Amino acid sequence: MGTSAEAIVIGASAGAVEALSVILPSLPADYEVPMLIVVHVPPDNKGILAQLFQAKCNIEVREAEDKEPISDGTAYFAPPDYHLLVEPDKSLSLSSDAPVLFSRPSVDVLFESAADAYGADLIAIVLTGANEDGAEGLRAVADAGGTIIVQSPEGAYASAMPAAAIAACPNARVMSLEEIAAYLQDVEKT
Partner 1 sequence: MLEKKIEDIEIQLLLEGLYQRYHYDFRHYAWASVKRRLKQAREQMGFRSFSALQESLLHDPGMLGRLLGYLTIQVSEMFRDPSYFRAIREKVVPHLRTYPSLKVWIAGCSSGEELYSFVILFREEGLEQRTLFYATDINQDALGKAEAGIYDLDRIQMFTENHRKSGGKSSLSDYYSAAYGKASFDKSLRRQVVFSDHSLVTDAVFAEMHLVSCRNVLIYFDRDLQDRALGLFKDSLTRKGFLGLGSKESMRFSNHADSFADCVREEKIYQKRTE
- Under the criterion CB under 8 A, does residue 121 sit at the interface with partner 1? no
* 13 is annotated as an active-site residue: yes
* 176 is annotated as an active-site residue: no
Can you tell me which of 4, 26, 54, 95 binds partner 1, judged by CB under 8 A? Answer: 95
Total residues at interface with partner 1 (CB under 8 A):
26
Distance CA 78, CA 36 (A): 8
Q: Give strand pairing partners of 149.
A: 125, 173
- Under the criterion CB under 8 A, does residue 79 sit at the interface with partner 1? yes
- Under the criterion CB under 8 A, does residue 112 sit at the interface with partner 1? yes
What stretches of the chain show up as alpha helix (H) in DSSP?
16-23, 48-56, 107-118, 135-143, 160-168, 177-185
* 186 is annotated as an active-site residue: no
Share of the chain residues as helix, strand and coil, in percent rounded to the nearest 5: 35, 25, 40
What stretches of 24-73 show up as alpha helix (H) in DSSP?
48-56
- Under the criterion CB under 8 A, does residue 42 sit at the interface with partner 1? no
**For binding to partner 1 (CB under 8 A), which residues are involved?**
65-68, 79, 82-83, 85-88, 91, 93-98, 109, 112-113, 116-117, 119, 144-145
Q: Which residues are catalytic?
A: 13, 40, 133
